[in-house]
Structure 1
Amino acid sequence: MHDLYSVIESMHDNVVIVNKMGVTIWVSSCFERTYGIPKDSIIGRTTYDMEAEGFFSPSVASLVLQSKQTVTIVEDNQLGGRNIVTGVPIYDKAGDVEWVISYTVDSRYFLKLNNEYEKLNEALDGSQLVISPDPSSWGVVAISPAMQRVLEYVSKVTLVDTNVLITGESGVGKNVISRLIHKQSDRSDGPLMEINCAGIPANLLESELFGYEAGAFTGACRQGKVGRIELANGGTLVLDEIGELPLELQAKLLQVIQEKKLTKLGGTRAINVDFRLIAATNQNLRSLVDKKRFRSDLFFRLNVLHLNIPPLRDRTEDILPLANNVLEESNGKYSTNKYFSPEVIDALQMYSWPGNVRELRNVVERLVIISEQLIITEDDLPSHIQDGAFLERENKLPLKNALYELEKKLVARAYKKHKTTVATAKALGISQPSAARKISKFCK
């Protein structure tokens, strides 16, 4: 491990390692140069604390711990600089994130691009950029009537400053819509603070939301801490997975919503706050209210404007445009120029996508990585998508045709795997002559 740290130290850019609780366990020596903080003063502190105190924002490690995926962001730091930061998850044997390693790209590259942008702005002779209220210009795929209705509703929601409740299955894009509402609202110049109520341990969530005064509890930062609610002042607060918020915190949140004031842990002074609240969940909050797991008064406060995002299986017109968008992004990311075969397009549109847009993104990026040719074929698809699309297709065929297609698929798959008629016959539980005839019929 010492040799690894020595290699990292030799890198020009800053590197930080945090554990699964968000606690900083190692930073490279150039951390002080980048952030103006001695490295020894942050070892043992959480990335959540550092973000809340304004040393940097947003925290890439926090986003990686929430998403369990590699994340790249543009980060602001307390010295007034902007850095491009990438966080990479390191998984344990169970597939959970054990460590997050983040590295900062030299901000001079960013500053150079920013200067070019400023010069381009000046060349426009002071002409102003006008954001169109037309939802079709918002960069969200909405070919289907269902998603077009969602964007039409969003266009109305952005005109008012009321609480919004966004519901929908996991992976449908609730975070995309919440960010869109903020971007198109009058609060777009203010901060957008997002927190996943299920992504932070319950014993830390209260201090993350409300902050705390110095000495509020054992182990508290001696300077105290600013909570996410206070940091959202003048902007938008997004509470994802609101159904996971503990009951005792629901009462405190309700009070803040009603009074627009909060009191930090260990404090006595009420702090005025002004923010728009967007809550999101994949759960049925009415059902949770009936089960006494969610406060009815908080539910009614949140459910002023309700926006439900339909699952991808109910807006199949969006599947191919979404897949093509991800294909284009992935081609750029991996410097390739791959494209879908007609069979893959058919399979993608036939599959039911239980994981919705998130699953679609993961599958398409995987296809770009693993396919060995420029054309992505049906053989590159995960077997569960091949089978799911096949079943959907066969549901629409007469029994005789469906049985023929099923036999053809099974024989072809077995022969591709086992290579010989003897092995194929054994796998299918039929005689070798029978296997040979079927291989000749279906595979030659």
Structure 2
Amino acid sequence: MYKQIVKEDELNLIFRNTTNEIFVADGQGICIQVNPECEKNLGIDAASLIGTNVKDLVSRGLFTNSTTLKVLEEKKPVSLIQETSIGQKLYATGIPVFAENGEISRVISTSINITEILKFQEKVQRMELMLDDYNKELASIKKTIKFNQGEIIASSHHMKRVYEMLEMITQVDSTILLLGESGVGKSEIAHWIHKRSNRSNKKLIEVNCAAIPSNLFESELFGYEPGAFSGALSSGKRGLALEADKGTLFLDEIGELSLELQSKILQFIQSKSFRKVGGNKTEKSDVRIITATNRNLEQMVNKGKFREDLYYRLSVIPIKIPPLRERKEDLIALIFLILDNLNISYDKKYTFSNTTIQSLLNHQWPGNIRELKNTIERICVTSKDEYIDLDKSSLIKYLYFNNSDYINEEIPRRSSIDNDESITNEIFSLENDMSLKDRVKWFEYEIVNRYYKKYKSTQQVAEVLKTSQSTISRKLNQVEN
């Protein structure tokens, strides 16, 4: 007797604590027992269920597709999907229990709540549809952009003109001067020109004029003889100009050279000849010269900081590469192209939601293509998922990520500040709780923003305020507009 009581208590414990719903009806379809999970799924207590015929429960709309009624009708186990009045979806299985006379005495129905599983399934299906739409959009963009040659995106009017000019000059040896803000892709275009020129089977040697100290520039470019100076290699050095012989010499950041070095470059361009440091022999190098700068060389000539004769030698074919803000039509194609290249490089399937793409399109990108490329890569490689969904406020934390001042920092908002005067008043107000750090940020932003409205160029603002272009770009983006 004791064992029987213990067994019944254990069964009752299991019945009440199982995470699956249990619904028991008699042979007439009248509910005789339910467990707490059933009450939870139906949103009604047991007292309202027990003693009620299942037909009445269905007619009241508590659930659909009754397993009890199906089992009583078909006299065999059945499984089906039910939906309850409170929106729960259940996978229910009903099993008949037969009496000795062959009639059904009980129907035991167990149900698994699959609401969350179905929601997840729907989310996966939506993601698959979005991925399909993304792939179609990417394929469409690649097909429709006629001017996309070798990763030069040229859908906008400005870039089409640039591209047409580039096509005309690839097969000639005229000196080219690439102009444009930092990050617009001057180096990539120099490589593009070389690959399509009649010198493509030879080297392109890239020299960053700003990265080489002035006292070493001449020896790096033209080489030196053995023992030419203290610390020189005993074998001497060939020099980059000779390395580029029969190919292309790309002098990036040409505007950073001193006047003394400018005269050396002028002589080399005029004669294609030079002398190594410490040498007497005249060397020859047949190179095509491409130069690039983000500086205003005309302005530098007027100020006596750049040789006028060198300027005219360099600008035989001047090509200005427009900043991203002047070629908005190219932005969507650039985003997909960069994303596509990242997927190939990392063997991934990164995709952006429409919200993410719109956030990227709305940003001004003062750092141009370089900033866009670095930001997209940063977003992808630091994401836990390959499907990426960011809004504008989430995007901000990925901009200028390497500056520790702005990592994971709450950015002051200008929700109640709608003009320059009110911003200034807000900064100096004693009535608000804005921190000193936030006030300084806003003050810096206002100074930079007013200059930017005047000059429309981060490079010019940097020159006027005597700081770097990257600093100006960062200040413009450190608050949420």
What TM-score do the two structures reach when normalised by structure 1? 0.55
Q: Match for residue 301 of structure 2?
A: 289
* Residue 164 (structure 1) aligned to one of 157, 163, 176: 176
* CA distance 1:427–1:260, change in 2 (3 Å): closer
| Equivalent residue, structure 2, for 1:40 | none
Paired with 1:147 and 1:307, the residues of 2 have a C-alpha distance of: 11
Partner of 2:6: none
Q: Please list the CA deviations of residues 390-417 of structure 1 after superposition, one character each: whole Å capped at 9, or x if unmatched.
A: xxxxxxxxxxxxxxx958xxxxxxxxxx
| From 211, 235, 241, the counterpart of 2:247 | 235
1:272 aligned to which of 269, 284, 288? 284
Partner SS, residue 210 of structure 2: coil
Q: Are 1:206 and 2:192 an aligned pair? A: no
Q: Which residue among 372, 396, 402 is the counterpart of 1:382?
A: 396
- Aligned CA RMSD, in angstroms, stands at 2.3
| 4+ residue segments displaced more than 6 Å | none
1:117-163 Cα offsets, whole Å, 9 max, x none, are: xxxxxxxxxxxxxxxxx964433222222111111000111132110
SS of the aligned residue for 1:267 comes to coil
Describe the superposition over 1:207-252 as per-residue Cα deviations: whole angstroms up to 9, x where unpaired: 1111100111111101111111121111110000000112111111
Partner SS for 2:381: helix
Q: Which of 212, 227, 240 is the matching residue for 1:215?
A: 227
Mean Cα deviation higher: 202-211 or 236-245:
202-211
- What is the aligned partner in structure 2 of residue 325 from structure 1? 337
Q: Does 1:152 align with 2:164?
A: yes
**1:72-87 → structure 2 map (5 Å cutoff):** none
* Alignment correspondent of 2:455: none
1:87-166 pair list within 5 angstroms: 136-166=148-178
| Cα distance change, pair 219–427 in 1 and its aligned pair in 2 (3 A) | closer
Output the CA distance in 2 between the equivalents of 1:260 and 1:326: 38
Deviation at 1:317, TM superposition (A): 1.2
Q: 2:193 maps to which residue?
A: 181
The Cα of 1:292 is off from its aligned counterpart by: 1.2
- SS of corresponding position for 1:294: coil
Cα distance between partner residues in 1 of 2:221 and 2:252: 13
Within a 5 Å distance, the mapping from 1:293-308 to structure 2 comes to 293-308=305-320
Cα distance in structure 1, aligned partners of 2:388 and 2:396: 12
CA distance in 1, matches of 2:147, 2:356: 30
- In the other structure, the counterpart of 2:359 is 347
Contact preservation (8 Å) 2:249, 2:288: yes
Is the Cα–Cα contact under 8 Å of residues 135 and 155 in structure 1 kept in the other structure? no
The Cα of 1:427 is off from its aligned counterpart by 9.8
> Structure 1 135/336 Cα, relative in aligned 2: closer, same or farther at 3 Å?
closer
Q: For 2:194 and 2:229, how far apart are their aligned partners in 1?
A: 35
Q: Name the structure 2 match of 1:113.
A: none
CA contact (8 A) 2:350 2:386 kept: yes
**Once the 2 structures are TM-superposed, how far is the Cα of residue 351 of structure 1 from its aligned partner?**
0.8
- The match for 1:260 among 250, 272, 281 is 272
Could you tell me how far 1:273 is from its partner in structure 2?
1.6
Could you tell me whether the CA contact under 8 Å between 2:291 and 2:314 is conserved in 1? yes
- Structure 2: gaps spanning 5 or more residues: 1-145, 401-413, 417-432, 436-481
Partner of 2:370: 358
| 1:190 is the counterpart of 2:209 | no
Give the total of aligned pairs.
Answer: 259
CA gap of 1:149–1:383, structure 2 versus 1, over 3 A, is same
| Contact 2:180–2:320 (8 Å) recurs in 1 | yes
CA spacing shift, 1:220–1:385, aligned 2, 3 Å = closer
2:379–2:398 CA contact under 8 A, matched in 1: no
Secondary structure of residue in 1 paired with 2:178: strand
Q: Partners in 1 of 2:268 and 2:320 — Cα distance?
A: 25
- Check whether the contact 2:375–2:399 (CA below 8 A) recurs between aligned residues: no
Which amino acid in 1 is paired with 2:161? R
The 2-side partners of 1:195 and 1:137 are apart by: 25
Identity across aligned pairs (percent)?
A: 46
Aligned counterparts of 1:297 and 1:349: Cα–Cα separation in 2: 42
CA deviation string 1:146-203 (max 9, x = no partner) = 1111110001111321100000000000011111111111111122111000111222
Query: CA shift at 1:299, angstroms?
Result: 0.5
Residue identity in the other structure for 1:267? G
Residues 374 and 138 of structure 1: CA distance in aligned 2, closer, same or farther (over 3 Å):
closer
Larger Rg: 2
Rounded to whole Å, the distance in 2 between the matches of 1:191 and 1:373 is: 41
Instruction: Give the structure 1 partner of residue 236 of structure 2.
Output: 224
Aligned equivalents of 1:334, 1:263: Cα separation in 2: 46
- Give the letter aligned to residue 266 of structure 1: G
1:222–1:385 Cα change, 3 Å:
closer
1:385 Cα deviation from its structure 2 partner:
6.3
1:268–1:159 distance in 2 versus 1, CA, 3 Å: same
Offset, 1:312: 0.5
Structure 1's unaligned 5+ residue stretches are: 1-133, 387-404, 408-425, 429-444
2-side partners of 1:375 and 1:146: how far apart?
Answer: 33
Cα deviations by residue, 1:39-66 (Å, 9 ceiling, x for unpaired): xxxxxxxxxxxxxxxxxxxxxxxxxxxx
